[in-house]
Amino acid sequence: MTMFQKVLIANRGEVAVRVIRACKEMGVKTVAVYSTADSEALHATLADEAYCIGGPRASESYLNTDAILTVALESGASAIHPGYGFLSENVEFAQECSDHGLVFVGPSPEVMRRMGDKDEARRTARAAGVPVVPGCDLLESAEQARDEAERIGCPVLVKARAGGGGRGIRKVERPEDAPAAFETASAEAQAAFGDGKCYMEKFVSPAHHVEVQVIGDKHGNVLSLGERECSVQRRNQKLLEESPSPCPALSEDVRLHMGACARDLARSVGYEGVGTIEFLLDDSGSFWFMEMNTRLQVEHPVTEFVTGKDLVKWQLRVAAGVPLGSSQEDICVAGHAIECRINAETADFRPSCGGITMLHVPSGPWVRFDSSLYVGCVVPPYYDSLLGKLVVYSPTREEAIRKMRSALGELVIDGVECNAYLQLDLLSNGEFLSGNYHTNLMERLYE
């Protein structure tokens, strides 16, 4: 069980930089891939080797599996870390890696297929004794969507079984609206993920979006590393996350039960690697499984702060066959961490792009900014709007909020517009400050 000598990072931006830094600390050589739009990107500069794999659009480069595999083999890499987004949950790519003798840093293709299919994941969760949101299995027609909406009781959600990022989801208020919602969600999912299959579940409101971080090794060991509150969302896209969850309904008994359910589900499928199991929690303390993300999450730094564990290093070790070497009793969650996603967008939520002319990053004890920005770099229009993640840690939530406000006030990014002002506004909202906020907070405040 030896660590990889060289790893290719099949991604860009802040997550590619994050993985490269972890590899450097572990003495592992790194290979970056980049598009023509990213020829001067930070991740291409920091890696030991960097190769251009195509044009600016993701389909020409970061989704070009043939080019990525060719670079991996020619450069002598033994593993590929997919980051998140792009190919991170692509079962076919994971299988191709295995077929070419490369380690895919993540779960096996079989587990990815099983848990990435949200309909199959729901059935798997039920079999493992984990509570699941009431709903139905895959819909075959618009007419069936109407019938199921009437049976389940509106409001309901039509949800794509594949993909993520808020795409392929439609809310239905009346049964007669279900056929159109089904057809729209299915078409969107087909265009985005190549799979238009959808299922339906009850829309739980008001609700909290709480997720549990898990990690499993190749020796049957599974650990949970606390939970994250992810209820600050706009159009199903997370904006701010914190750990532990401040939700009053999440009593210690509920927290322990949720963690046990997450471990049971991961163990039931033989999960290997880092993953996240997402739950809906209501104000009574009842919770239901929603889905599993079979990859590293954008919000992983808050878990790293409160547990003291480097999740990317753990990912790499587990993928290399190293046992976790810890028990659940060894995992201690202490203090409070908050992450604000800094997105390139205007005040009316439109994308912003351009060259960075000024950059000042806040610092100080327990302040972290995961980003690939530097003065002179260009934020292109082809990719996700995430500029970076500002993360803080303090002994208490109240102090963490004050620290984040201070850090946001100090952050300067000129050349593109960003949403730092919005994050400051959220951190002053009374409902957020109470800790008892729900997934509809952004909708009520800003839409």
Catalytic residue annotation? 295
Instruction: Give the three-class secondary structure for 42.
Output: helix
Crossing angle of the two packed helices 91-99 and 109-116, in degrees rounded to 10: 180
CA distance 55 to 35: 5
| Residue position matching structure tokens 């967008």 | 345
CA distance 190 to 20: 33
CA distance 370 to 96: 30
Instruction: Give the three-class secondary structure for 418.
Output: coil
Q: How many helices (H) and strands (E) does the chain have?
A: 15, 21
Close Cβ partners of 308 (under 8 Å, ≥ 6 residues apart): 332
Which DSSP string do the residues of 82-130 spell out, in sequence order?
A: --SSTTTT-HHHHHHHHHTT-EESSS-HHHHHHHHSHHHHHHHHHHTT-
CA distance 128 to 144: 28
Phi then psi dihedrals of residue 430, to 5 deg: -60, -40
Q: Are 412 and 360 in contact (CB under 8 A)?
A: yes
Crossing angle of the two packed helices 252-268 and 118-127, in degrees rounded to 10: 110
Which DSSP string do the residues of 236-304 spell out, in sequence order?
A: TEEEEEEES---TT--HHHHHHHHHHHHHHHHHTT--EEEEEEEEE-TTS-EEEEEEE-S--TTHHHHH
- Pairing between β-strand 49-54 and β-strand 29-35 as defined by DSSP bridges: parallel
